Amino acid sequence: MAQSYVMIGGEGPLSYAKNSSYQGGVVDVAKPIIEEAIKQKLDINELCSNGLMNNFWIADFGCSTGHNSFLAMQMITRAIGENFQSIRSVSQIPDFYVFFNDQVTNDFNTLFRSLPPERHYRAIGLPGDYHRCLLPKASLHFAYSSWALHWLSQVPKAVEDPNSPAWNKGRVHYSGARQEVVDAYSSQYAKDMGAFLEARAQELVSGGLMALVFPGAIPTSVENPNTSYSDVPSETALIGSCLMDMAKKGRVSQAKIDSFNFPIYFTFPEELKAVIERTGSYNIERIETLDNPGKHTLTNANARASFYRAAFEGLLIDHFGCEIIDELFDRYAHKLEASPAVLHPDNDKSVMIFVLLKRI
Ligand SMILES: C[S@@+](CC[C@H](N)C(=O)[O-])C[C@H]1O[C@@H](n2cnc3c(N)ncnc32)[C@H](O)[C@@H]1O
């Protein structure tokens, strides 16, 4: 079972729905790339080799309450419909079924309440851990996931084990940590991403496409593409430093902090490529880094604090309890205000990784 990291549900001021325009910017940037990919790489004749296709199955893995997902699904179904129209005819455009996947504790009620009325697909909820098979074998024609695959299924065990050389005492993430800690994160990522890709390989039809976009990192040097650097983990370090300040004031115990780590990993293209190639099930049609389009939306300390709160609150409450959350994010917003350089978009070096795979 993956640990529970669902985003804040509903549509209130602290909800993920109201604090995810940062992630939503990715859909705009990835749109022309995905449209082009559908036009060039989705082989309608191959998919329809058994005759007519009545139903076209699409799934979004890790959709949360759907607000960004709806934009992506609209764009993807339209592009596929146009492809069918140009290669076959309007009458041969299949019915689209979109499976919205997230963890069982996700707020699916908000998702279904918010579905756009003008959509040209039928929506189906698909609760469950996406590291496992969730759909029938060879049934899926197009898989999509955005801003989800940097979440690990769990914090690597060694990082939380005081007897392990990878014990991450005094930190809450791998940014700036010892190599053993980074290695433990990296191998957990390889395991999780491998499981995700294996599960989708079972579900996708031959010739089916998968478009994935998630935050990643860029290598520090061309000579050594296996060393990564990203500014993104330093945000988690900043949250960690607020927790340390609270420990000094006796608001939270140091032992509680030592046993907490963020289950997030920012891979880089070479590492990802190796994981994909190990499955032996996909052709890599495209793999590239995109400039993070959302960085201009989080230049205000409170907006940035709400953004991280919407994503991390569940995880933090699970470990520390709900009493510390308001204070933690107030402290975090104050820290951001005191360091305007962190808020400046030019200093945000985070990147998005885009990958397009075709099931062999
Ligand atoms: C940051 S949200 C991204 C939501 C949406 N795709 C977007 O672009 O705004 C990440 C989502 O991935 C989901 N998630 C994380 N691990 C998962 C897993 N193992 N199985 C299914 N969903 C998962 C979380 O519950 C969360 O809703």
Would you state the pLDDT for residue 231? 40
Would you state the pLDDT for residue 1? 44
Alpha-carbon distance 97 to 121, whole Å? 5
Task: Give me ligand 1 centre to Cα 247, in Å.
Answer: 30
Instruction: Retrieve residue 344's tokens.
Output: 């400046």
Residue 307 CB–ligand 1 contact under 6 Å: no
- 138-150 mean pLDDT: 97
Whether 14 shows a pLDDT value over 60: the answer reads yes
The bridge status of strand 122-127 relative to strand 140-146 is unpaired
Ligand 1 atom with the shortest distance to the CA of 20:
9
Q: Whose CA is nearest to atom 5 of ligand 1?
A: 63
Domain ranges for the chain: 17-157+180-232+262-295+346-359
CATH code at 17-157+180-232+262-295+346-359: 3.40.50.150
Would you state the pLDDT for residue 261? 96
For 278-304, the pLDDT digits (tens) are 999 999 999 999 876 666 667 789 988
Residue 62 CB–ligand 1 contact under 6 Å: yes
Share of the chain above pLDDT 90, in %: 75
Provide the 10 A C-beta neighbour count for residue 245: 15
Residue 315 pLDDT class (50, 70, 90 cuts): very high
Q: Are 202 and 137 spatial neighbours (Cβ–Cβ below 8 Å)? A: yes
Whether 4 shows a pLDDT value over 60: the answer reads no
Residue 220 pLDDT class (50, 70, 90 cuts): low
Would you state the pLDDT for residue 115? 98
Q: Whose CA is nearest to atom 20 of ligand 1?
A: 129
Alpha-carbon distance 250 to 231, whole Å? 30
Closest CA to 79 of 114, 138, 27, 39: 39
Instruction: Retrieve residue 305's tokens.
Output: 């604090």
Mean pLDDT over all residues of the chain?
A: 91
- 77-92 mean pLDDT: 93
Ligand 1 atom with the shortest distance to the CA of 2:
19
Beta bridge partners of 60: 100, 144
